[in-house]
Homo-oligomer: A and B are copies of this chain.
Amino acid sequence: MKLELTKLMDPGSRLTEQRALIYKIISDGGQHLDADEIYSRARQKSARISLATVYRTLQKFKQMGIIDELHFGQEHHHYETRQEGEHYHLVCRSCGKVIEFTYPLSSKIKKDVMEARDFKIVGAEVNMTGYCRRCRK
C-alpha cells in the first residue's frame, strides 16, 4: 500500500485498504462513477467494505480536495479525481453519456465576475446538456 495517497492523508488520518481501493476505482474506473457504482465495483474486489464506508470516504476525499463531486441533475452525485486543467462536462439528454471538454473560462470570467460582483470565485462547475452525434441521427 505504497500509494502517493499516503502523503495526502491529514495527520491523524489513516490509510486503509478501503480508502486505497476506492481511490483506485475512481481514478482508473472510467468516468464519473456514483457512490453505488463505486460500491459494487469495490465489492467485486474485496467483500470487506460497506456502502457507509464508501460515502464516508467520498466525503473525506472531497474535503481533502483529491476528488470532485459532479451534479448532473440526477438524484445522486458523481465523482472524478481532481484534474490538472480546467475542464467541464457535456451530458447527452438522450443516452446520458458524459463527455469532457476543456475550455478556458476561468481566468476571464473569474476576473470579470470578481470585479463586477465583488465575489471571490474558488470553484466552478459547468454542465451543458444536449445531444451527442450518435443520438442526433
Chain A contact residues, CB within 8 Å of chain B: 69, 71-73, 77, 90, 92-93, 99, 101, 103, 105, 109-110, 112-113, 116-133, 136
Contacts and interface: CB of A to CB of B under 8 A. Distances in A.
Copies of this protein chain in the complex: 2
A24 to B, nearest CB: 25
A129 B113 CA distance: 12
A129 B123 contact: yes
A5 B103 CA distance: 39
A99 B123 contact: no
20 contacts: A71-B73, A73-B125, A101-B117, A103-B109, A103-B113, A105-B105, A105-B109, A113-B128, A119-B130, A119-B133, A122-B129, A122-B130, A122-B131, A123-B128, A123-B129, A124-B126, A124-B128, A125-B125, A125-B128, A126-B126
